[in-house]
Amino acid sequence: MMRFLNTLLLVSACTLPTISYALDVEPANWWVGMNKSTITIMVHEKNISNEQIKLAKYNGVKLNKITRTDNPNYVFLNITISDAAKAGTLEFNSSETNQRFEFPLLARYKNSAKRQGFTSADTLYLINPDRFANGDEQNDTVPSMLEAADPTTKGGRHGGDIQGVINALPYLKDLGVTQLWLTPVLENNMPDYSYHGYAITDFYNVDPRMGSNSLYKSLSVKAKEQGIGLVMDMVLNHFGAEHTWMKDKPSKDWINFNGEFENGKNATSHARQTIQDPHASDYDKRQFNDGWFVASMPDLNQRQPLLSEYLTQNAIWWIEYADLSGIRVDTYSYSDKAFLSDWTKAIMQEYPDFNIVGEEWTSNPAIASYWQRGKHNQDGYTSSLPSVMDFSLQEAVIQALNEDESWNTGWVKVYESLANDFLYPDTNNIMVFADNHDMSRVYTELGQDEAKTKMAMTLFLTTRGIAQMYYGTEVLLDNTPSKDHGDIRIDFPGGFKGQTRNAFTGEGLTKQQKEMHKTISTLLNFRKGSNALDKGKLVHFTPQQGVYSYARISDEQTVLVFMNKNTKELTKNIEYMQEVIPKNTKALNLFTHKTQVLGNTVALPAMSATVLIINTSQ
C-alpha cells in the first residue's frame, strides 16, 4: 500500500455503515487435520451474548469456552478439533430460543501442509485487478456497493476483475510469469476510491465487483494449470471505515485510539525507525503503531487477543480455501510487532514451506532486515517472516541509472546497496523490484528511456532474490508527467473496450513496446530454468568505466551480467573477473543467441545490459 494516500482518499467522507443483525459466523468453516486445531469462531447477532450456546455432540470436537465482551452482539466460541474428528458438520444451538447454526468441517487438499511457497526461482507479476482487464462487464456496477463504475475518473473503478485475470493466464504463462500477486480483491464497500482494495470491509468475502470467492478459487486452480501460483495481498494493520466494526465494535479495544481519528490528531507518524530505535520513547512507538493512515482506514489493535486470533485464522483460512502459494503483507511494520511474530509463526507452523513477504518501505536495510526470519536482533525480537521487500536496491538502481558516474554516484549506489546484504539472514529470500503500485513506473522514473529501462529490468531479473514485476512494464506503461496513483495504475492495453493498443495480442504496440516485451519475456523464461539465478551465489565487482558487472554461480551454470552506461560501445577488459570465468570458456549471449569464446575482453554495446550464460556442467 502507499506510504501516503491520495488526496481523494484523505478527504473522502465516510458515513457509518448500516448494520445488519442477521446471524454472521466467521470463519464460515474449518478443516480437519490442521496444525491449528483450536480455533475461535466469532458469532455476530443482536444480543447473541444472552444466549447459552451449546455444541451438539460430535466425535473429536470440544467446545472449550465461550467468551463474551462488552458488546452483547458478539460471542466467541473456542473449540478444539482433535485428530479423531472427521469431516462433517458441527451444530451449535441455544436452549433458550432454539437458535441454531451449522459449522462445516472440511477435508483438506492432499499434501496441503506441504505446499511450496514462492521462491527465488519465481517471478511475481503484480496486478491491480481493477486496471488490468475487464472480463465480466456485468459486475462493473453492483447495486449493493456504495461506489459504481466510473472508468473515466483516475480514482474511480474501471471495471477490471478476477475473470479478466483468468482470461489473461495464457498470456502470462507465455510471458514467463510464475506467480500472481493481486492487490486486495476482498470487499471494499467504500463510497469512493475503493478500487485499490486496501480499505477492506469484509475479510472473508471477495468484492462482488471483482467476482466471488468461488471465482477467486477458480483463478487459483486455473493459474496452477498454467504453472502459476497465487499470492494474496493481506492487510493486518487497518480496515475500511464502512466495515460493520466501526458501528458495532466487537469490543471497546478493537480499534486503536478508541476508534477515533480526531481530525488527524491520531494519525500515524510513519516513523518506522522507532521500532528498532533503542532510545525511542513509548509515545513515539505508539504514535507510529497505533496511529491511523487516514480517517477512512481505522487502525486495528492487534494486542486485543480475540482480534489477533481473528486475523491469524483469516490468513490460514484463505491459504487453505484458495490454495495459495504466498502472502504479501501490506504496511507490515505498522502492526503490533509481538502480534506479527505470533501471526507469522502460526502460518509457518501450518505450512513450513510457505512464503510470506512483508512490506517495510524503507531504503535502510538495517530496518528492513530486522523483520526477516533468522535475524538476531539486539532487542531480542524474533520474527518468523521469511521474506522482506528490497526498497534499498530499488532506489539505488533508479539513482544509478539517472546519475553520472563518479566515485560516489552511479553504479556504486547499487554496489553499496547489495554490499549491505550482510545484514540479512537469507538474501535469496529478499524480494527485488523496479517499481510497484505505490510509486511511479520504472519507465517514467528513468525519463522514458527504453535502454535504461531494459538495463534496470535485466538487473532486477538476474540479481539475487525473488523477482517482482509490475503489470505493463513489459510494454513500457508510463505515468509521465503525473504522480497520481490513478495514472500509475493505468489501464492495461487490451484489457478494456475501446483501446487501440493490445498487449495481449501485440496489436497497435509501438516498435519500442514490442522490443521491451521481447526482452522481458526472454529474461522471465530464462529465469524459469536457471539454477544460477535461483540458488546461485552472487559475486559482484566494483564499478569500472561506467560498467557494473557480476556473476551468478551454481554448480551447473554461471551467468555473467554486464551493465554498460556508456553512450558508445566499450571493449571491456575482464581479466579482473577471472575468478568467476575459466579461460577460453564458451558463453551464450541471452539476447543475441550468439556463442562466443571468452578471452581477456568482451564487447559491450552502448547503453545496454549483456547477459552471458556458461553451462559449467557440460
Q: How far lies 110's CA from each of 113, 115, 132, 324, 428, in Å? A: 8, 9, 33, 14, 28
Beta bridge partners of 596: 587
The H-assigned helical ranges of 477-595 are 485-488, 511-529, 531-535
Q: How far is CA 576 from CA 230, 388, 573, 604, 614, in A?
A: 42, 33, 8, 16, 17
Q: Are 392 and 364 in contact (CB under 8 A)?
A: yes
For cell 506441504, the residue is 114
Active-site hit among 350, 359, 390, 478: 359
Catalytic residue among 330, 350, 421, 474: 330
Alpha-carbon dihedral 504, 508, 510, 515, rounded to 10 degrees? 30
Q: All 3 cell numbers of residue 302? A: 492487534
Would you give the DSSP letter of residue 568?
S
- Residue 330 bears catalytic tag: yes
Over the range 550-565, which residues count as b (16 or more CB within 10 Å of their CB) and which as e? bbbbbeebbbbbbbbb
d(CA 597, CA 586): 4
Q: Which bin fits 135, alpha (ψ -120 to 50), beta or left (φ > 0)?
A: alpha
318 contacts 324 by C-beta, under 8 angstroms: yes
Which residue's C-alpha cell is 550482510? 422
Q: How many CB atoms lie within 10 A of CB 24?
A: 18
Pair type for strands 202-206 and 186-187:
antiparallel
Q: Is 275 in contact with 337 (CB distance < 8 Å)?
A: yes
To the query of whether residue 290 is one of the catalytic residues in this protein, the response is no
Q: Which residue, 187, 200, 279, is CA-closest to 237?
A: 200
CB 223 within 8 A of CB 47: no
Cis omega before residue 481 (within 30°)?
yes
Chain-centroid distance, C-alpha 528: 20
Which amino acid type is present at position 265? K
* Catalytic positions, written as ranges: 330, 359
